[in-house]
């Protein structure tokens, strides 16, 4: 029988969220042994960061994206599984994230998840636009979708700020994808008190940096209005 009075997990009592609990459960990678919290911003070197953390902890060779996905799904403690005592102890955890320029991030999402007809995330936009599965979705149409209720429907294009959950001033280190080598090296050295290698994976290349230059002033204004908190909180120029 369906439990209509399912208890709210302790974490979500303490920390209201803008995204779905499912997204946040997968979006905060919590290590109760190393006492850190990584706010996993999608399309911001997520796989490289996860694989580097896992390698530093276990010294295991990462064989590919499928293995990394299993690590993402199963290795870390999820917020919804924390006890009240665990939640009370989170103040002392080392909190970090890696952010990305919102212009290049949203273009990367579009090129990888929307323009690519083989991606499941595309179906959400197809349904909204009332298109056929193989129809083209233009970048402007994707922005239409985001502006009309789609902004928080998927982790890959949700605002980066929403993944933080904790107030931004509680984060000990906020790095940038644009200087990933420097920032991730520093983060790993803080967590493990030694030099750790960055373990890169062959993520999908979308060449969004080149494409960013092709954004029109209208495109940039729409993106800025959608992700204004990200521009401000992570100090990106618009």
**For 66-119, what is each residue's pLDDT tens digit?**
888 899 989 999 999 999 999 999 999 999 999 999 999 999 999 999 998 888
User: What pLDDT score does 64 carry?
Assistant: 81
pLDDT of residue 1 exceeding 50, the answer is no
In this predicted model, which residue has the larger pLDDT, 61 or 196?
196
DSSP for 175-202 reads: EEGGGHHHHHHHHHHHHHSS--------
Tell me what the mean pLDDT of segment 20-27 comes to.
Answer: 96
Q: Cβ distance 10 to 86 under 8 Å?
A: yes
Q: Characterise 221 by phi-psi region: left (phi > 0), alpha (psi -120 to 50), beta (else).
A: alpha
Beta strands in the chain (DSSP E): 28-31, 36-39, 94-99, 173-176
Predicted pLDDT of residue 44: 96
Over residues 222-230, the mean pLDDT reads: 98
Report the pLDDT value the prediction gives residue 202, as an integer from 0 to 100. Answer: 63
Dist CA 226 CA 146 (whole Å): 8
Q: Which is it for the CA torsion 34, 51, 212, 223, positive or negative?
A: negative
Residue whose pair of structure tokens reads 């992570």 in the numeric block: 234
Residues 232, 137 contacting (CB under 8 angstroms) = no
Residue 129 has pLDDT above 60, yes or no: yes
58-63 long-range contacts, Cβ below 8 Å, gap at least 24? 62/199, 62/201
Structure-token pair, residue 204: 């999908």
34-55 per-position pLDDT tens digit: 999 999 999 999 999 999 999 9
CA dist., res. 232 & res. 238, Å (int): 9
Does residue 48 sit in helix, strand or coil? helix
Rounded CA-CA distance 85/212 in Å is 45
pLDDT digits over 162-217, tens only? 999 999 999 999 999 999 999 999 999 999 999 999 998 765 555 555 565 589 99
**Distance from chain centroid for Cα 231:** 15
């Amino acid at each position: 029988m369906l439990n209509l009075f399912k208890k709210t997990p302790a974490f979500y009592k303490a920390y209201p969220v803008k995204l779905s609990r499912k997204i946040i459960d997968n979006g905060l990678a919590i290590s109760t042994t190393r006492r850190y919290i990584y706010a996993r911003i999608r399309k911001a070197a997520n796989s490289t960061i996860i694989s580097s953390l896992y390698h530093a902890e276990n010294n295991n060779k990462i064989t590919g994206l499928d293995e990394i996905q299993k690590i993402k799904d199963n290795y870390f403690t999820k917020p919804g599984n924390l006890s009240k005592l665990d939640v009370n102890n989170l103040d002392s955890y080392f909190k970090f994230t890696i952010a990305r320029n919102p212009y290049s991030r949203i273009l990367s999402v579009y090129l990888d998840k929307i323009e690519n007809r083989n991606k499941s995330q595309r179906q959400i936009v197809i349904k909204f636009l009332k298109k056929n599965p193989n129809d083209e979705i233009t970048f402007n149409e994707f922005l239409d979708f985001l502006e009309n209720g789609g902004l928080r429907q998927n982790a890959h294009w949700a605002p980066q700020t929403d993944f933080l959950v904790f107030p931004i001033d509680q984060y000990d280190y906020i790095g940038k994808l644009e200087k990933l080598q420097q920032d991730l090296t520093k983060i790993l050295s803080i967590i493990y008190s030694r030099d750790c290698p960055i373990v890169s994976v062959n993520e999908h290349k979308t060449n969004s940096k080149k494409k960013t230059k092709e954004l029109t002033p209208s495109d940039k204004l729409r993106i800025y209005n959608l992700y204004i908190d990200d521009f401000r909180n992570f100090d990106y120029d618009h």
